[in-house]
């Protein structure tokens, strides 16, 4: 019969030897591949002792920013929540009271601000949508947790430390030079 393609191969019907029936050639071939990798450079990074360099465009955990006087920048306008394709952001707005001018920059502020990190796809659209430079994605990633509630980050986890009272914490949270 004429072959349909030139790549067809005749199947060998040769009976297997004892070594082949014991899979010895296959085992030695596999071991050879394994041993050849011992002398190659390991691509594995031993995290957390070793940390890899972040890409300049890496987007990690969110930080809620303060202004140069240490006041929260967010005015609870909701634009970040509208822009978020994962519907991960929720907030509750509140009116700034007299005497709170040193805490909040605008007359309205986010009394509650939450991001569900299990929904978030770290696209950065919230950062782009914010007209107040109040939110950005840092170079930190969400640590592991034992329950789902632990991945809902509130203001206590996201508001950047006050530059006046905690300059070290502020610099650490600020992280990436692209945000300085
Ligand atoms: S990074 Fe994207 S998915 Fe995550 S909260 Fe911001 S807009 Fe939503
Ligand atoms: S983070 Fe920005 S966009 Fe989101 S509510 Fe606050 S001010 Fe508006």
- Between the CA of 59 and the centroid of ligand 1 the distance, in Å, is 10
pTM above 0.85, yes or no: no
Indicate the pLDDT class of residue 180, thresholds 50, 70 and 90.
Answer: very low
- Between the CA of 95 and the centroid of ligand 2 the distance, in Å, is 15
Query: For ligand 2, atom 5, which residue shows the shortest CA distance?
Result: 76
Helix (H) or strand (E) holding 129: helix 125-129
Pocket test for ligand 2, best of 105, 110, 111 (most atoms within 8 A of CB): 110
Relative to beta strand 152-153, strand 135-137 is: unpaired
Q: Is 108 in the pocket of ligand 2 (CB under 6 A)?
A: no
pLDDT at residue 179, as a whole number: 42
- Between the CA of 135 and the centroid of ligand 2 the distance, in Å, is 7
148 has pLDDT over 50: yes
Q: Is 63 in the pocket of ligand 2 (CB under 6 A)?
A: no
CATH architecture of 62-179: 2-Layer Sandwich (3.30)
Indicate the pLDDT class of residue 173, thresholds 50, 70 and 90.
Answer: confident
| Domains of the chain, residue spans | 62-179
Cα separation, 22 vs 115, in Å, equals: 57
Taking each continuous run of H as one helix and of E as one strand, the counts in the chain are 6, 5
């Amino acid at each position: 019969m004429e072959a349909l393609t030139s790549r067809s191969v005749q199947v060998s019907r040769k009976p297997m030897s004892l070594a082949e029936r014991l899979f010895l050639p296959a085992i030695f071939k596999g071991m050879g591949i394994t041993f050849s990798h011992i002398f190659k450079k390991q691509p594995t990074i031993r995290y957390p002792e070793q940390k890899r360099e972040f890409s300049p465009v890496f987007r990690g955990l969110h930080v809620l920013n303060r202004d140069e006087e240490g006041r929260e920048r967010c005015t609870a306008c909701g634009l970040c929540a509208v822009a978020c394709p994962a519907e991960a952001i929720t907030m509750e707005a509140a009116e700034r009271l007299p005497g709170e001018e040193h805490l909040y920059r605008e007359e309205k502020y986010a009394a509650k601000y939450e991001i569900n990190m299990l929904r978030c796809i770290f696209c950065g659209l919230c950062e782009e949508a914010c007209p107040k430079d109040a939110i950005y994605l840092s170079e930190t990633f969400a640590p592991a947790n034992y329950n789902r509630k632990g991945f809902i980050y509130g203001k206590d986890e996201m508001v950047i430390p006050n530059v006046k009272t905690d300059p070290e914490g502020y610099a650490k949270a600020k992280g990436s030079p692209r945000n300085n």
